[in-house]
Amino acid sequence: MSNTKKPINVEIKKINRSNIYHHFLENQFLTKQQLVNDLQLCLPTVTKNIDDLVADGLIEKSGSLGHTGGRRAITYSLIKNARVALGIDITQNHVTIVALDLTGSIISSNRSRRHFEPTDDYYSYVGSTLDTFILDAGFQPDQILGVGIGLPALVDADKKSIFFSKIINLSSTTLEDFARYIPYPIELYNDANAAVFTETWTNHNMKNAFYLMLSNNIGGSMIIDGNIYSGDAQRSGEIGHVPLIHNGKKCYCGQSGCVDAYLAATNLSNMTDGNLQAFFRDLENDDPAIVRVWDTYLDYLAATVNILRMLLDCNVILGGYVGEYLEPYMEELKKRAARLNTFSDDAEYLKICSYKKESIAAGAALYFVDAFTKAL
């Protein structure tokens, strides 16, 4: 009988600890009595877990609140940076690094220009840039949960190797190339899958959605029942290579008329010497040539999101480089998308992503935060 009770008791203790810690994630300050009331636990159980979490350096005493039987109740709060997770976004010309605390908030970020090349010098550069970032932020090695790396490539389920990449030459790149210069746990992620994970993290009630990444390449990721759907061969969501225009513009993949050929951010930034910010500045100033290009771009974007809506019947989240600038133009985009939809006269299903330009790096880091908080 004791053998059967022990595992059950251990499991209950783990559940209680997890529930108490997650309550701190959702609340700024808590007293023991508030935890007793909110979680329907007995005071000795709450006290034991509070003491353990304080000893583990995950929460701390933060003050006092009111009076309880003549004594002021001690409040406790989360030590948000007790652990940090690092995320890296690798693109053709830039390396973006972010650090997240245990609430998923970005506490530090850095973007540097470096052209990608599959060489030891490049991987060394990423490692040394990360070392400098960690030093400048004042993080200690035992604070760091791990490093997630978002890549414009299809990544194996083991998160260690790449099996398809045409945007940049990542075909020979593996986790070990980065691990030689990064002394922390590392995992590789497809860029769109990393970005969409930020949406499930910030909105736990999200069940079904499609994330459309509008960057220098077009990617996508599907959320079904709150989980990322990778497909049978880790290739789902590749909306960028769905034909949009028959016999249309040539795509880098070798096909013609792909969504990527019409919606890649370079269609816009090439108008302003590769500077996307300058494009939207000129658009705001009603530059006629820029306005014409943007008008055409919105039509192609509306057609693409309508295809997604008709096929999947879920929210469509817009992110990537272009997503960062979309907010002032969302109403017009919704009108155009609604006109194309057979079954609905509005497009309120269209949303803008949460983390904007840092979404890929943030999402890659969030996997480590998520694993840590779930393991408590």
For residues 124 and 140, membership in a common domain is answered with yes
**341 located within any domain:** yes
Query: Are 64 and 19 members of one domain?
Result: yes
In whole angstroms, what is the distance from residue 373 CA to residue 376 CA?
5
**Collapsed DSSP state (helix, strand, coil) of residue 234:** coil
336 and 244 in a common domain: yes
Looking only at the bridges linking them, the beta strands covering 154-155 and 218-224 are unpaired
Residue 260 lies in a domain: yes
At residue 156, the 3 state secondary structure works out as coil
Among 107, 88, 319, 84, which Cα is nearest to 189's? 88
* One domain, residues 249 and 279: yes
Give the DSSP H or E segment for 263: helix 259-263
CA dist 201 and 206 (Å) reads 9
CATH number at residue 70: 1.10.10.10
CATH number reported for the structural domain that contains residue 185 in this entry:
3.30.420.40
pTM for this one?
Answer: 0.86
Is 150 part of a structural domain of the chain? yes
Q: Residue 235 carries which side chain, given as an amino acid letter?
A: R
Nearest to 316 by CA among 370, 280, 353: 353
Q: Among 63, 78, 93, identify where a domain stops.
A: 78
pLDDT in tens, the chain (376 residues): 445 555 668 889 899 999 999 999 999 899 999 999 999 999 999 999 999 999 999 999 998 876 555 578 899 999 999 999 999 999 888 999 999 999 999 999 999 999 999 999 999 999 999 999 999 999 999 999 999 999 987 787 888 877 767 777 787 788 999 999 999 999 999 888 899 998 888 887 888 999 999 998 899 999 999 888 988 877 888 999 999 999 999 999 899 999 999 999 999 999 999 999 999 999 999 999 999 999 999 999 999 999 999 999 999 999 999 999 999 999 999 999 999 999 988 999 999 998 888 999 999 999 999 999 989 8
Q: Which of 184, 196, 195 is nearest to 224 (CA)?
A: 196
**Same-domain pairing of 46 and 115:** no
Distance between CA atoms of 37 and 35, rounded to whole angstroms? 5
Judge if 38 and 170 occupy the same domain. Answer: no
**pLDDT tens string 31-69:** 999 999 999 999 999 999 999 999 999 999 998 876 555
- Give me the domain span that covers residue 342: 206-353
Look at the chain and count its residues.
376
Structural domain ending residue among the three candidates 35, 52, 78? 78
Kindly state whether residue 39 falls inside one of the protein's structural domains.
Answer: yes
In sequence order, what are the residues at sequence separation of 6 or more whose Cβ sits closer than 8 angstroms to the Cβ of residue 140? none
Note whether 98 and 31 are same-domain residues. Answer: no
One domain, residues 343 and 215 = yes
Q: Are 46 and 20 in contact (CB under 8 A)?
A: yes
32-39 helix and 43-55 helix, angle to the nearest 10 degrees: 120
Domain count, the chain: 3
User: Is residue 200 one of the residues assigned to a domain?
Assistant: no
Same domain (yes/no): 28, 148: no
Q: Is 24 helix (H, G, I), strand (E, B) or coil?
A: helix
Task: Please give the torsion angle defined by the CA atoms of residues 144, 163, 216 and 218, in that order, rounded to the nearest 10 degrees.
Answer: -110
- Do residues 210 and 175 share a domain? no
Using CA atoms, how far apart are residues 231 and 228, in angstroms rounded to an integer? Answer: 9
Sign (positive or negative) of CA dihedral 259, 90, 312, 205? negative
